[in-house]
Amino acid sequence: MSDSGKTSDLLAQLPKGRGPAPVHLWNPAFCGDIDMRIARDGTWYYQGSPIGRKPMVQMFSNIIRRDGDDYFLVTPVEKVGIQVDDAPFVAISLSVSGAGERQILSLVTHVDDQVEIGPQHPLRVETDPVTLEPAPYVLVRANLEALLHRNVFYQLVDLAVSAELDGQRWLGVWSHGVFFPIGPEP
């Protein structure tokens, strides 16, 4: 079956409701890979062309699943592999309510998922060992993360405070009563 045929079949199987489908409950047969890729900036591509319709991207984003290091689009009867350059989602906006340890940091992704950083949606920052460039991520759902857009990360850095963790001083942010380290204090 061609990539176009696989995609048409996949579209016909999608649940009609809004929001993420219960892909963690589905265990269909693997039907191969399709030529779909999510770039680091959150752009979805099909057969090398960007998918320009946001509702289509949102629909696909509701059936994505990560198993180990591999990403799939999953329906009750079909599972197809896709390529993800970094993370499947990008956090594009930040809002803050409260202050100090009671502060709540809320993020919105490019597909309109909304999450509050906290125990259910932890923030982590990976640092490239060569360039020392930070890459901040937040868990969106079931081992699927969003990379924080650079401007959102800068907003977090502006909110950073100092705290001690395991005998070392860190800069980080509070959300839902949890301190999330961004990097060692200079």
Give kind and range of the element (H or E) at residue 150.
helix 150-159
Query: What are the backbone angles phi and psi of residue 26, rounded to the nearest 5°?
Result: -95, 140
Residues 42 and 117 in one domain: no
Of 65, 84, 103, which one is at a domain's C-terminal end? 84
Taking a C-beta distance cutoff of 8 angstroms, is the pair 23, 65 a contact? yes
Residues 115 and 52 in one domain: no
Q: What's the confidence (pLDDT) of residue 24?
A: 87
99: helix, coil or strand?
coil
Q: Contacts for 17-24 with beta carbons within 8 Å, 24 or more apart? A: 18/62, 19/62, 20/62, 20/63, 20/141, 21/62, 21/63, 21/74, 21/75, 23/63, 23/64, 23/65, 23/74, 23/142, 24/65, 24/142
Residues 66 and 147 in one domain: no
Q: What's the confidence (pLDDT) of residue 1?
A: 47
Q: What's the confidence (pLDDT) of residue 20?
A: 82
**Residues pairing with 178 in the sheet:** 175
Instruction: Count how many domains the chain has.
Output: 2
Q: What's the confidence (pLDDT) of residue 9?
A: 53
pLDDT tens-place string over residues 53-101? 999 999 999 999 999 999 999 999 999 999 999 999 999 999 999 999 9
| CATH, residue 45 | 3.10.540.10
> What is the extent of the structural domain holding 134?
89-184
Of 61, 84, 107, which one is at a domain's C-terminal end? 84
Distance CA 76, CA 74 (A): 7
Per-residue pLDDT of the chain (186 residues; tens, 9 = 90+): 455 555 555 554 444 456 788 888 899 999 999 999 999 999 999 999 999 999 999 999 999 999 999 999 999 999 999 999 999 999 999 999 999 999 999 999 999 999 999 999 999 999 999 998 999 999 999 899 999 999 999 999 999 999 998 889 999 999 999 999 999 988
